[in-house]
Amino acid sequence: MTPNIPEPILNLLQEIGEVGGEETYLVGGFVRDLLLKRPSLDIDIVVEGEAIRVAEAMRNRWNGTVHVHPQFGTATVTPANQHLPKIDFVTARRETYESPGALPIVTYGTITDDLCRRDFSINALAMRLDTKAFGTIVDKTGGIKDLERGTIRVLHKRSFVDDPTRIFRACRYAGRYGFRIADSDSVLIQEALPVLVELSGERIRNEIDRVLLEENAPRIMGQLTEFGVYDSIFPGWQISPSFASDFQTAQNAIAWASEHLVDEKFQSEPVRWMSFFSTRTPIYQIEALSFRLVLTHQLRRLVSRAQASQHSVSLEKVTHAVFEKLGFPLSQNASIEHHNGKWCIVDADSPTGEGTTYVCGEGNLYRIETPLTAYRQLKQELTPLPEATKPSEIYRLLKPYPIAALVLTSVDRSIATWKREKIRDYLLVLRKVEPFITGEDLIQSGKKPSSEFETQLWELFAAQLDGKIRKKEEAYSRLRTFV
């Protein structure tokens, strides 16, 4: 049987089978998508034996390059022909989990071991590559039947507890293919929810990132919410009911940026996260989640070790009394948790404000700051903006904001069209304007840097942005009037 695979990839797979023989199998997502008649580019080969040896032989045959990870028994081959995809070779393995949520202990095994260690039956399918039986599907766990029925089903009862990222994965595949999670699996998911707390921030973020890349992200987020996943990761975390339209806004923003901001390092991830956090999540919670999920954030120091010792307290101990003494009283409901090697203190009812998130580590007390709240703050700042605002004022208003927030706001239909046009004008033109006179020019003409100097430079630049100065000479003659 010749499977329905595009010819260049079919040729690669046949060549692997010719070299590796009965030891070689195509596995995972590619086989699943092949049977679902969907395109897939991730080619994973399992070798019952030495994957690295087969990978090196293929590198020689394809004049390509090979990247070997001897400690994992894996290798990636990139064929010389740039139109061909890279291919991952992995030695068949068996996995055991010592504790829930931790990474597995891996030993080498057979193809059956390798299929049985996987997440769902639909992902535990292999295709033989040897010439004798090329294209034959190996199905040890009823994966084909589940594909036909449209069912997501784990292979054993501890699967979600061993690896709670599979909760995200189950919802992701269900949303992507319009499949149902088996009833028995829904029960297992509920039982495994408490283990989500054990997962590292990077692993959770990685899963949410992958959901946000799916076309059906709103449906997937909805199902994760029904399972109570977010509340299990962070008590009180709720997904905005307007997520579907916010997600659409993010998609529009990314499409606009990829067309208009082609020559810059525009990152789409923060745009998706900003829309994900948009309306419901309070700012202190976005800050706490940025810390927990290792999203972009920085720590601003509020109290140093030395300052704490002046108050006769040590920040090695995080208690209400210590915080009181330092002038940051905590409410009774403040939660104190250990993450990423530091203490995270989330005080939703903080007596000092609307809710505050602190971090304590190495004897210092910090506040978390994250650019992910910028979109919301920008929307608030835009509310009172009068239509007659001058370009220089727009420049000053928008300059501190990250590009991601500006792009997102520029396509947000809840904002007046003229405001969105001003933001686009800033993104496309205004922010790229070079001043006729720079600080460097002034220093060269013998002036010393000062705050007055700063003000003068800004006045000149503002006049230039507003079209009152059109040439360098005009800028210099205006500068002389200041003197």
Binding site for ligand CTP (CB under 6 A): 28-29, 42, 118-119, 123, 163, 165-166, 169
Q: How far is the CB of 467 from ligand CTP (least distance, A)?
A: 51
Residue whose C-alpha is closest to residue 345's, from 324, 330, 363, 327: 330
Closer of 167 and 465 to ligand CTP (Cβ): 167
Q: How far is the CB of 377 from ligand CTP (least distance, A)?
A: 34
Least spacing, CB of residue 384 vs ligand CTP, in Å? 45
> Considering the complex, what minimum distance in angstroms separates the CB of residue 3 from ligand CTP?
17
DSSP type of residue 457: H
Residues 6+ apart with CB under 8 A from 143: 32, 120, 121, 122, 123, 124, 125
DSSP string, 230-243: HHHHSTT----TTH
CB 478 within 8 A of CB 463: yes
Instruction: Say what the alpha-carbon torsion angle 89, 91, 97, 103 is, to the nearest 10 degrees.
Output: -40
Smallest distance, Å, CB 169 to ligand CTP?
6
Q: Which is nearer to ligand CTP, 192 or 394 (CB)?
A: 192
Q: Which amino acid is at 244?
A: A
Burial pattern 432-456, b for ≥16 Cβ within 10 A else e, equals eeebbbeeebbeeeeeeeeeeeeeb
Distances in whole angstroms, Cα of residue 149 to Cα of each of 98, 174, 345, 402: 33, 12, 47, 46
Residue 371 identity: P
Residue whose C-alpha is closest to residue 322's, from 383, 271, 280, 363: 363
d(CA 483, CA 481): 5
> For ligand CTP, which is the closer residue by CB, 93 or 292?
93
* Shortest distance in whole angstroms from residue 118 CB to ligand CTP: 4
Provide the minimum distance between the beta carbon of 219 and ligand CTP in the complex, in angstroms, as a whole number: 15
Q: Is the CB of 88 or the CB of 246 nearer to ligand CTP?
A: 88
Q: Which is nearer to ligand CTP, 28 or 218 (CB)?
A: 28
Between the CA atoms of 347, 348, 351 and 354, what dihedral angle is there, to the nearest 10 degrees?
130
Task: Kindly tell me which of 40 and 240 has the beta carbon lying closer to ligand CTP.
Answer: 40
Which amino acid appears at position 354 of this protein?
Answer: E
Is 29 or 355 the residue whose CB approaches ligand CTP more closely? 29
Q: Which residue is nearest to ligand CTP (CB)?
A: 29
CA 4 vs CA 31, 49, 86, 148, 252: distances in Å: 11, 28, 20, 17, 34
Q: Could you tell me the smallest distance in angstroms from the CB atom of residue 30 to ligand CTP?
A: 7
Strand partners, 29: none
| The two structure tokens encoding residue 414 | 């809840």
Taking the complex as a whole, how short is the minimal distance between the CB of residue 94 and ligand CTP, in angstroms? Answer: 12
Degrees to nearest 5, angle at CA 123 with 120 and 128: 140
Shorter beta-carbon distance to ligand CTP: residue 118 or 422:
118
* Pick 118 or 292: Cβ nearer ligand CTP: 118
**Tokens 């400690």, residue?**
71
CB closer to ligand CTP, 102 vs 321: 102
Find the shortest distance in angstroms from Cβ 214 to ligand CTP. 8
End-to-end Cα separation, the chain, in angstroms: 86
